[in-house]
C-alpha cells in the first residue's frame, strides 16, 4: 500500500522543517519526504505539524491505575516511595493496569516505548497497537539472598523476549539503594552476554548521593525499617562514576534521571554516547522540585539524551508532548527543535535504533504523529516553537504505516 500525507509543516528532525510538505509511505516504511506528492493517493491533513513518532524512553506502566501523582509536590523521594509501595500493596498491578497504560501511551502519540516491568508485557495488545516496546524487567535486591532469584527472573525474561516477535527484553536494576553492587555487576554481565539493554535510576536525588557516598541518610533508614540493610549495599565510599563504570560494562545502558550528575559523570557518558544515554523526565523532575536539570551541560558535552514520562505516580499523564513542552519551559535557551529531537531521535539512539526510528527519512519506519497548529499565524519563524508553545494534543498517529484511530 502506498499513500502520501500532506501537512502544513513536516518536521523531519533529520533536516529543516518543510513548509507544505509531503511524506509518502509504502507499507510500513517512509518512501520519500519533500514538497512533491509522490502518490496519487494523498491525504491533506491541513493545519498540522507532522513529526516522527514520539519515543518514550522511561515509564512504569504497572502504575497506570494512579489517577494523579502520589504524595505532594516537593516531597522527599523516600516518603514518595512509601506512597508507591503502599499503593502497590493496596492495588496490586494486573495485566489490565499495564494495558490501560499502554493504551494511554499510544493514544498520546508514543510509537516506541521503554517500560520498566514486573512481568512480560501483554504481547497481543502491543501488537494490535503497533507500538514497539522494550520491556525492562525491574530487579530489586538489597540483600544477598535476593541475588539468585532476581537473576533467575532476569534469565527467563530475556529468554521470553528473545522468543517474542512483539517486544524486546531489557533489565532494570532499580537504583543504588535497592540493588546490591554484586547484583548490578551480574545484571550488567548478563546484559552484555545477551545483547539486552540495561536501565537504572541513577543520580536521581541528593539523598541517593548521600547514600552512595556515605551509606547514610533517609535511604539507609528506609532499608533498616524494611530489615534489608546489608553491609554490601550501605557501605558507602562509592561515587556515581563507580556506578557508571559498571553500567558501561552492559550491552547498552540508560541512566534514568541523572538529575545530580556531576561534570565528570557527564563527560564519562558523552565519551560513550553510542552505548550510554541519559533519560530526562521533565515533569517528574519538576514534581520533586530538584535542582535545575543539567540539560545544557549534557547537550554541550555531546551526551545522548532521551525523554521519558516516568510513571503516573509522579507525572500527570503518559504523554511525551507534555514532557517536551515542560522541558522547553524549563530550558528556554535550548532550541525547541533540539527538545523535539530528544523525544524522537534521542530516544531511538538511547535504544540503539537510530538507523530505523526517530526521524522522517526514506527507509525509516513509518511512525508519525500529527499535532494541530494554531491557525492565526500562518508564517511563524519557527514551526517547532509554534508547536511547543501551543497546548494542542496529538491529533493522529501512524504506526508502521497504519493510521491509529482512538
DSSP per residue, 286-333: HHHTPSPP-HHHHHHHT-EEEE----TTTSS-S-HHHHHHHHHHH-TT
Residue showing the smallest CB distance to Zn ion in the complex: 310
Residue with Cβ nearer Zn ion (99 or 310): 310
Q: How far is the CB of 295 from Zn ion (least distance, A)?
A: 18
* Rg of the chain taking only CA atoms, in angstroms: 21
Cα 100 from Cα 241, distance rounded (Å): 37
Q: How far is the CB of 16 from Zn ion (least distance, A)?
A: 34
Here the cell at position 31 is 518512501
Q: How far is the CB of 346 from Zn ion (least distance, A)?
A: 17
Here the cell at position 49 is 505539524
Residue with Cβ nearer Zn ion (201 or 365): 201
Here the cell at position 128 is 494490535
Q: How far is the CB of 172 from Zn ion (least distance, A)?
A: 8
Task: Return the biggest CA–CA distance within the chain.
Answer: 69
CB atoms < 10 A from the CB of 34, how many?
A: 15
Q: How far is the CB of 320 from Zn ion (least distance, A)?
A: 15
Residues that bind Zn ion (CB under 5 A): 310
Cα 151 from Cα 134, distance rounded (Å): 19
Cα 271 from Cα 266, distance rounded (Å): 9
Residue with Cβ nearer Zn ion (20 or 316): 316
Q: How far is the CB of 46 from Zn ion (least distance, A)?
A: 37
- Which positions ≥6 away from 406 have C-beta within 8 Å? 106, 107
Question: Dihedrals φ, ψ of 246, to 5°?
Answer: -65, -45
Q: How far is the CB of 400 from Zn ion (least distance, A)?
A: 27
Containing 33, the helix (H) or strand (E) segment is strand 29-34
Residue with Cβ nearer Zn ion (265 or 310): 310
Amino acid at each position: 500500500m502506498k499513500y502520501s500525507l500532506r501537512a502544513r509543516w513536516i518536521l523531519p528532525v533529520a533536516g529543516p522543517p518543510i513548509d507544505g510538505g509531503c511524506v509518502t509511505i509504502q507499507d510500513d516504511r517512509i518512501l520519500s519526504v519533500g514538497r512533491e506528492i509522490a502518490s496519487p493517493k494523498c491525504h491533506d491533513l491541513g493545519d498540522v505539524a507532522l513529526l516522527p513518532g514520539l519515543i518514550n524512553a522511561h515509564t512504569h506502566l504497572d502504575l497506570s491505575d494512579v489517577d494523579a501523582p502520589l504524595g505532594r509536590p516537593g516531597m522527599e523521594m523516600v516518603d514518595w516511595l512509601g506512597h508507591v509501595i503502599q499503593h502497590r500493596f493496596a492495588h496490586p498491578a494486573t495485566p489490565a493496569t499495564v494495558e490501560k497504560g499502554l493504551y494511554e501511551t499510544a493514544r498520546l502519540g508514543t510509537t516506541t516505548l521503554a517500560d520498566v516491568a514486573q512481568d512480560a508485557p501483554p504481547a497481543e495488545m502491543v501488537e494490535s497497537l503497533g507500538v514497539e516496546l522494550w520491556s525492562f524487567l525491574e530487579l530489586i535486591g538489597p540483600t544477598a539472598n535476593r541475588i539468585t532469584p532476581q537473576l533467575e527472573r532476569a534469565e527467563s525474561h530475556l529468554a521470553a523476549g528473545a522468543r517474542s516477535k512483539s517486544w524486546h527484553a531489557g533489565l532494570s536494576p532499580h537504583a543504588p539503594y535497592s540493588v546490591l553492587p554484586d547484583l548490578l555487576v551480574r545484571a550488567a554481565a548478563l546484559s552484555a552476554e545477551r545483547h539486552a539493554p540495561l536501565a537504572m535510576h541513577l543520580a536521581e536525588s541528593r539523598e541517593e548521593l548521600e547514600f552512595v557516598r556515605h551509606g547514610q541518610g533517609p535511604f539507609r533508614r528506609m532499608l533498616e525499617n524494611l530489615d534489608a540493610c546489608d553491609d554490601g549495599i550501605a557501605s558507602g565510599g562509592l561515587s556515581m562514576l563507580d556506578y557508571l563504570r559498571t553500567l558501561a560494562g552492559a550491552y547498552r545502558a540508560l541512566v534514568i534521571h541523572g538529575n545530580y550528575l556531576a561534570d565528570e559523570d557527564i563527560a564519562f557518558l558523552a565519551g560513550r554516547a553510542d552505548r550510554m544515554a541519559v533519560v530526562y523526565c521533565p515533569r517528574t523532575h519538576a514534581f520533586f522540585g530538584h535542582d535545575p536539570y543539567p540539560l545544557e551541560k549534557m547537550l554541550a558535552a555531546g551526551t545522548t539524551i532521551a525523554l521519558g514520562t516516568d510513571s503516573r505516580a509522579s507525572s500527570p499523564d503518559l504523554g511525551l508532548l507534555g514532557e517536551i513542552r515542560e522541558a522547553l519551559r524549563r530550558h528556554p535557551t535550548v532550541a525547541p527543535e533540539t527538545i523535539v529531537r530528544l523525544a524522537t531521535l534521542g530516544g531511538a539512539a538511547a535504544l540503539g535504533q537510530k538507523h530505523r526510528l526517530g526521524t522522517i527519512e526514506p527507509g525509516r519506519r513509518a511512525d508519525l504523529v500529527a499535532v494541530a497548529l494554531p491557525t492565526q499565524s500562518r508564517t511563524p519563524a519557527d514551526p517547532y516553537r509554534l508547536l511547543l508553545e501551543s497546548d494542542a494534543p496529538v491529533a493522529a498517529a501512524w504506526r508502521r504505516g497504519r493510521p491509529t484511530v482512538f
